[in-house]
Amino acid sequence: MPWSDPGGNGNKNDNNPWGRRPNAQKPVFDIQKITQELKKLGGIFGSGGGRSGGPKMDRKWLHLLPFLVIAVLILFWVASGIYVVGPDEEGVVLRFGKEVGISQPGLHYRLPFPFERVYLPKVAQSRRLVLGYSGAADSLNPGMMLTADGNVVDVRFAVQYRITNAGHYLFATTNPEQLISYCAESAMRELVGRSEIDDLLTSGKGTIEQQAQRITQNLLSRYHVGVSVDTVQLLEVSPPKVVQPAFTEVTAAREDMERARNEAQAYASSVIPKAKGEAAAMVTNAEGYKQQVVDRAKGDSARFTDILQAYQKNPKVVSERMYLRTMQDILSHTQKVIIESKGQPVIYLHMPARIPAAVTSLTSSAAVTAPAVSVAPPVAPATNPATLPVPVSGANS
């Protein structure tokens, strides 16, 4: 095709299209030149060439052209069997719809379509399904579940799983994700129906998640889905919006009850040890008093035994000594009054130095109530003074 401007302007020197002037007009569409060029091209494959005397070509190449096209197509069809399995994939090869092999990551070859086909599921990828309450207020919400204590809760949870058997995952069911969601919802409804609402809202979440994971895995293994459930996580557990205010009040009341109970337990923890200590001290004091009384009784018993033995050896001396000691104990705590035999005035002997402190307190208290009389009228003795015991006369002397 010539480089000169279309239209035949005759400028043979300006045959470079990039050397045109900026204001040069756009070349027009020339159907005649296009027709001439097509004729020249057709003359290459023809026998006699075109009018312009182009090169000639042998007709035997025209007979080989369909075979060349078919060979190229066959080559492309055979090369279509080459496939690559990614590092996170696993190839499942089907031959006429039947599974014949599993391909690991790398470059592989299969028979071209329609003999064999390859599916490449991502087995190393962790998949996640969010199920349950979706925020809708309809009565058919799948997240509304009934607890063991008769409460209705909206449960929203997530299931995280991986493909462990690509063949089972692809062909055991028409919709594996739907089957996984059905199994997970069934397990969660069973656990919520056996639990109370307090366990769902507080410390029982971890146990329910573990049990839901185990039950869901057992169901999927029974159906040969070819997946492994990693975790089941409770995302949201809440009462329905209609009863939310009443439930909040009940929860606040329970928290107040727990707080009062904790305060009572703390008070009991502080009082009970103190009471136990006081009780132990009282028991210790009682044990000491008991031991003191027992020891004193043993001492009195031993002293009485000694006196008895001495009395058996010399009764007169022991009796007189006991009499004198007894009278000494009695008269040492009383006031001394001496009366003459002829009825003379009474002489009061005041001896505070010999009176003990306890006796002094008793005497002073008795003196407050009844003052002592130092002088009394003479009284005739009722008995003969000669018959008085010897210790009295000795003490008076």
pLDDT digit string, tens, across residues 202-218: 778 888 999 999 999 99
Top-confidence residue, 17 or 250:
250
pLDDT interval class at 125 (50, 70, 90) = confident
> Region 357-381: what's the mean pLDDT?
41
Q: How many angstroms separate the CA atoms of 209 and 201, rounded?
A: 13
Top-confidence residue, 348 or 108:
108
Q: For residue 233, count CB atoms less than 10 angstroms from its CB and return exposed for 0-12, middle for 13-18, buried for 19 or more.
A: middle
pLDDT of residue 30: 67
Q: 111-120, 212-221, 314-323, 388-397: which has the minimum mean pLDDT?
A: 388-397
What are phi and psi for residue 16, nearest 5 degrees?
-100, 120
pLDDT exceeds 60 at position 120: yes
Q: How many angstroms separate the CA atoms of 359 and 161, rounded?
A: 99
176-193 vs 205-222: helix axis angle to the nearest 10?
140
pLDDT of residue 286: 93
Paired strand residues for 100: none
pLDDT of residue 319: 87
pLDDT digit string, tens, across residues 155-198: 889 999 999 988 888 888 889 999 999 999 999 999 998 888 87
Q: How many angstroms separate the CA atoms of 218 and 205, rounded?
A: 20
pLDDT exceeds 70 at position 345: no
Give the max Cα distance, the chain. 201
pLDDT of residue 363: 42
- Give the torsion through C-alpha atoms of 349, 354, 360, 362, to 10 deg: -80
Whole-number percent of the chain with pLDDT over 90:
19
pLDDT digit string, tens, across residues 213-242: 999 999 999 999 999 999 999 888 888 777
Contacts of 245 (CB under 8 A, 6+ apart): none
> Region 323-337: what's the mean pLDDT?
81
**Residue 345 DSSP symbol:** P
pLDDT interval class at 114 (50, 70, 90) = confident
In the numeric block, the tokens 């009278």 are attached to 327
Q: How many angstroms separate the CA atoms of 175 and 225, rounded?
A: 10
pLDDT interval class at 84 (50, 70, 90) = confident
pLDDT of residue 63: 72
Q: How many angstroms separate the CA atoms of 73 and 80, rounded?
A: 11
pLDDT interval class at 397 (50, 70, 90) = very low
pLDDT digit string, tens, across residues 3-61: 444 444 444 444 444 444 444 444 555 677 777 776 666 555 554 444 444 455 556 66
Q: What six digits make up the tokens of 312?
A: 């058996």
pLDDT interval class at 287 (50, 70, 90) = very high
Mean pLDDT computed over every residue of the chain: 75
pLDDT exceeds 60 at position 364: no
Whole-number percent of the chain with pLDDT over 70:
68
